[in-house]
């Protein structure tokens, strides 16, 4: 018989190495056996289990299994027991994660991993280890809680999340983002090109600039309010925020994330506020202009009165005084007419309870044409009425008659003497609003020169004996008091078209 000294030495060295490595491992190794008669025994358990389960060495050898089982959290005892039974029944390895309640450390998480073997006498042995996974479990729970919190925040938020993979040229949209865009499937906007197609044309250039500025590193993130096309061919205001989170070695963007927030309600309120501010500004300008007019005109009349009265005092004979008194009467009549004009304007602007009724437009136009017929016959005017017989608008009766009369008499008053006068009336729907146009081929107005003064008080642009510059001012006030608007197009020598946009 030969004795291999070197092999024996090698085996001893390996055995010592395994022993040292085994001692260095902090996990609790154990062997659990279950006999055919269902007797449980733990013939081996590593000493590190004492510290892990905080059990005294004397106690663990007194009743090992019971001592360990007592440390298991009451809510998990059945889980551990049931998992072991299932392994025995199904012939599988025993693997389970559970909580233990320790006297010093408190609540901890342990994990059992085993290998199952069956002996010739049907004894089942589990060779395994117990690992303290408290830190990993706590980290996992924190991560899960964070994910749940993020999921809740995303689901309950008014903002939708999106992600743009520029390498693959694909875009991901969250459920909330699709809800904001009012689409059912992400396939509708599965590429950046599709997104650009729904951005409002008036906003696209600004949106592209803000995006490119961020891509080029000029901003830390991009943010822009713009409109997007949704269902029913309508646009919705959104707040679009984004940030590049990945770039290549040359700084080229590779991945972008961001959010969409529906701000339609806020934006509409903002636009409404801006409209009101513009209205208040216009009202303020109108009031300031009105006060200047009142001050100027009344001062002029007062000066005329004073001058005439001074002249009467200086004149010696009755004939001279009587002649001056005629001028005084003229000035008095002018003052009275001015006060009537100003009173009419004040009544229009201050009338908060204006009666609005559905009015047949043709009926009122016919009445006005009858009133101004003397002018039209004198000027040989031809009236072309393209207004449908059933055309109806919601307006104040007195205001409608006044507006039509002012615009008709203006057309007749400023007819071109070298042409046969033609006045054409048209009625149509434009941008869901009812529109009336009054077109003539008269003298026309130089809008570049006088456009900003056209609807001003006491502004005249032709030398006409009956021009007083009050008609268009009153007309504009009456239309705007009905929440409508009026615009004008005109060319000198070709004629003028007034366009009234009603609020219905």
- Taken in order 475, 481, 484, 485, is the CA torsion positive or negative? positive
The three-state secondary structure class of 123 is coil
Region of 452 on the Ramachandran plot (φ > 0 left; ψ -120 to 50 alpha; else beta)? alpha
- Taken in order 172, 177, 179, 181, is the CA torsion positive or negative? negative
CA distance 235 to 271: 15
**Nearest partner of 442 among 464, 406, 411, judged by Cα:** 411
Sequential DSSP letters for 379-422:
TT-EEEE---TT-EEEE-HHHHHHHHHHHHHHHHHT--TTS--E
Lowest pLDDT segment from 121-130, 286-295, 467-476: 286-295
What is the model's pLDDT at position 78? 93
Strand partners of residue 403: none
**Nearest partner of 167 among 224, 245, 241, 259, judged by Cα:** 245
Q: Is the pLDDT of residue 301 over 90?
A: no
What crossing angle do the helices spanning 264-314 and 318-350 adopt, rounded to 10°?
A: 170
For residue 371, give the DSSP letter.
H
CA distance 17 to 9: 12
The three-state secondary structure class of 446 is coil
CA distance 340 to 337: 5
Residues of the chain with pLDDT > 70: what percent?
74
Q: Is the pLDDT of residue 372 over 70?
A: no
For 46, other C-beta atoms within 10 Å of its C-beta total 18
Q: Is the pLDDT of residue 53 over 60?
A: yes
What is the model's pLDDT at position 202? 92
CA distance 64 to 33: 12
What is the model's pLDDT at position 10? 47
CA distance 238 to 256: 18
Q: Is the pLDDT of residue 270 over 50?
A: yes
Q: What is the mean pLDDT of the chain?
A: 79
Q: Is the pLDDT of residue 382 over 50?
A: yes
Pairing of strands 235-247, 222-229: antiparallel
CA distance 145 to 325: 97
CA distance 94 to 80: 10
Q: Compute the average pLDDT of residues 459-483.
A: 66
Q: What is the pLDDT of residues 429-462, one digit of tens each?
A: 999 899 999 999 988 888 887 766 676 655 544 4
> Which phi and psi (to 5°) does residue 362 adopt?
-65, -35
Q: Is the pLDDT of residue 2 over 60?
A: no
Strand partners of residue 428: 435
pLDDT range class, residue 475, cuts 50, 70, 90: confident
Sequential DSSP letters for 304-370:
HHHHHHHHHHH--SHHHHHHHHHHHHHHHHHHHHHHHHHHHHHHHHH-SS---EEEEHHHHHHHHHH
User: H or E stretch including 281?
Assistant: helix 264-314
> Which phi and psi (to 5°) does residue 309 adopt?
-65, -40
The three-state secondary structure class of 502 is coil
């Amino acid at each position: 018989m030969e004795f291999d000294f070197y092999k024996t030495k090698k085996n001893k060295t390996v055995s010592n190495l395994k022993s040292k490595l085994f001692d260095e491992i902090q996990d609790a190794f154990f062997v659990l056996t279950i006999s055919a008669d269902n007797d449980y025994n733990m013939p081996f358990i590593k000493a590190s289990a004492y510290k892990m389960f905080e059990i005294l060495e004397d106690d663990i050898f007194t009743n090992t299994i019971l001592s360990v089982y007592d440390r298991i959290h009451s809510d998990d005892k059945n889980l551990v027991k049931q998992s072991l039974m299932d392994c025995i029944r199904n012939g599988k390895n025993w693997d389970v994660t559970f909580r233990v309640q320790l006297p010093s450390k408190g609540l901890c998480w342990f994990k059992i991993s085993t290998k199952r073997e069956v002996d010739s006498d049907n004894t089942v042995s589990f060779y395994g280890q117990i690992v303290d996974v408290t830190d990993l479990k706590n980290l996992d729970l924190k991560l899960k809680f964070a994910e749940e919190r993020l999921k809740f925040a995303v689901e309950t938020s008014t903002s939708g999340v999106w992600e743009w993979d520029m390498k693959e040229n694909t875009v991901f949209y969250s459920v909330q983002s699709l809800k904001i865009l009012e689409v059912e499937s992400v396939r509708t906007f599965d590429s950046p090109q599709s997104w650009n197609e729904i951005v409002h044309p008036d906003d696209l250039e600004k949106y592209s600039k803000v995006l490119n500025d961020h891509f080029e590193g000029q901003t830390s993130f991009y943010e822009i309010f713009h409109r997007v096309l949704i269902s029913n061919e309508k646009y919705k205001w959104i707040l679009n925020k984004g940030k590049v989170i990945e770039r290549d070695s040359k700084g080229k963007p590779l991945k972008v994330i961001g959010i969409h927030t529906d701000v339609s309600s806020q934006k509409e309120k903002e636009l409404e506020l801006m409209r009101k501010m513009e209205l208040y500004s216009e009202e303020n300008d109108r009031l300031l202009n009105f006060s200047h007019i009142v001050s100027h005109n009344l001062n002029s009349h007062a000066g005329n009165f004073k001058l005439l009265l001074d002249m009467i005092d200086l004149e010696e004979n009755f004939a001279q005084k009587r002649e001056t008194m005629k001028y005084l009467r003229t000035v008095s009549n002018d003052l009275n007419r001015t006060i009537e004009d100003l009173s009419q304007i004040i009544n229009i602007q201050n009338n908060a309870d204006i009666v609005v009724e559905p009015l047949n437009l043709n009926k009122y136009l016919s009445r006005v044409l009858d009133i101004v017929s003397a002018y039209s016959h004198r000027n040989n005017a031809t009236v072309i009425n393209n207004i449908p017989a059933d055309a109806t608008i919601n307006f104040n009766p007195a205001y409608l008659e006044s507006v039509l009369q002012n615009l008709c008499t203006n057309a007749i008053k400023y007819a071109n003497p070298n042409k046969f006068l033609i006045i054409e009336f048209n009625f149509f729907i434009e941008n869901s609003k009812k529109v009336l146009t009054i077109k003539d081929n008269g003298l026309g107005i130089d809008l570049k020169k006088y456009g900003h003064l056209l609807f001003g008080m006491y502004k005249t642009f032709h030398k006409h004996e009956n021009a007083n510059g009050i008609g268009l001012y009153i007309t504009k006030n009456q239309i705007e008091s009905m929440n409508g608007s009026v615009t004008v197009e005109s060319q000198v020598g070709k004629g003028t078209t007034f366009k009234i946009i009603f609020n219905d």
